Structure 1
């Protein structure tokens, strides 16, 4: 067997998986998790529902893969050397990815229900991002400020600004985050 024959099915599988993820992102962004159906995702991709199950096993697994892909595409907030630069870079990226912002906002609200497929994912993600930001801010916040509180406020404001921006694109998420960072960490 030649190398191209060996790689062909694998490459097609990877491409199909990416196509499913992109389509699922669109469908979940439009209707949220509960109002979105695998039937609609399969229809848009041009495959059967069993094909979706072949790649992802369940609707919950597909949602988890879409959320993970969202993080990969947008990058973690804390990847940058400076945590504030990372937050601002993430905010700038979000302006260019309204579907991802909508998916995140919609699904995070739905996931407040303990039985939701993404409940644990969001709870764990918020905890890890909050901890990472707090650790990286520990020696930068004023002496009377709690780094975990500052991290929680930064995340809350960022999420809230995203919702306002989804409703009104005149909201200046980047400018507002820059002003908040300057107010919370005046020496940064």
Structure 2
């Protein structure tokens, strides 16, 4: 599928589906749809951004969406396609972190005011898998890995999309603080922290 079509698929189908999918259908619908998307986009965006940053050209393989013309025009169109796809992917990730899709979790502002009883109940992430989209995602490591890797890599990309991942990174940091999930705490304290710096 061409990248411009993937962008439209995310915008027209997946974002509305994620927003309105009942939690009982997350495993059946979202896991099957989001895993191949995250896996494909992680590898595609990583390679294209590496090419753009190091060689000055995105080298997007969508030659059907780019009209023939000067090399400069092709370079500009390739970069536009890359940026559009990047922004749409991170729009999807920011939707995953919406408070309405993570009802079982306190906000970052509230996290400092959580009592000891509430904090103890948050230790088990599994209890929140049906009320938190981010916990659902983290529970499925094959889905979570490409997303977490994209979040880290995005901090080196020269695009405004980085601002869109702040909400999903914020929820991941909150979960690392409140839970006893050692892998997540290691990810936040090492990889994510270094990428942000």
> Would the TM-score normalized by the shorter structure come out above 0.5?
no
Q: Which has the larger radius of gyration?
A: 1
* TM-score normalized by the length of structure 2: 0.38
* TM-score normalized by the length of structure 1: 0.40
